[in-house]
């Protein structure tokens, strides 16, 4: 999607989408294991396992695509602005940043939270 196509869209909830993706993968995997094991003995459970596999194989990649490409905490054109500024230095790196912008921001946020939690635990335990 081009940068100009992002201007009319609202912001989505990243926490809601992350929770939905995580629960869908976890519960879908558990249900797939249960139905798959029961499907060894019953044709009906085998049918439901195949149906669930089809639904998960279509919906999970779409959820991850949504997670990687939509804007969440920032304005929708921020990804375009950042990758446009990096384009002067390296067009290839700018393309990577544009494609994986949400994943990069999410990794930085998780890293910051992990560092903060580590510092708090260190202070509580008397390491720092």
Asked if residue 4 belongs to a domain, the reply is no
Please indicate, yes or no, whether residues 66 and 83 belong to a single structural domain of this protein: no
Q: Distance between alpha carbon 3 and the CA centroid of its chain, in Å?
A: 20
Please indicate, yes or no, whether residues 107 and 79 belong to a single structural domain of this protein: yes
| Tokens matching residue 24 | 């869908």
> Can you give the residue range of the structural domain that contains 43?
13-70
pTM exceeds cut of 0.75: no
Asked if residue 79 belongs to a domain, the reply is yes
Asked if residue 110 belongs to a domain, the reply is yes
The torsion defined by the Cα of 27, 29, 33 and 38, in degrees rounded to 10, comes to 60
The domain total for the chain is 2
Q: What is the pLDDT along the chain (128 residues), one digit of tens a residue?
A: 445 444 555 555 666 667 777 788 888 889 989 988 998 998 998 899 899 888 888 888 887 777 766 665 566 677 888 888 888 888 898 888 888 887 787 788 788 888 988 888 888 888 75
- Among 55, 70, 85, the domain-final residue is 70
């Amino acid at each position: 999607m081009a940068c100009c196509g992002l201007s009319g869209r609202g912001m989505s909830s990243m926490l809601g989408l992350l929770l939905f993706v995580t629960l869908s993968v976890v519960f879908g995997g558990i249900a797939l294991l249960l139905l798959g094991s029961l499907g060894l003995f019953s044709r009906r459970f085998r049918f439901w396992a195949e149906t669930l596999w089809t639904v998960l194989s279509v919906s999970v990649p779409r959820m991850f695509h949504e997670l990687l490409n939509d804007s969440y905490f920032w304005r929708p054109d921020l990804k375009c602005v950042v990758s446009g500024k990096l384009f002067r230095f390296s067009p290839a790196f700018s393309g990577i940043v544009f494609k994986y912008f949400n994943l990069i921001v999410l990794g930085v946020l998780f890293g910051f939270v992990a560092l903060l939690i580590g510092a708090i635990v260190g202070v509580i335990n008397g390491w720092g």
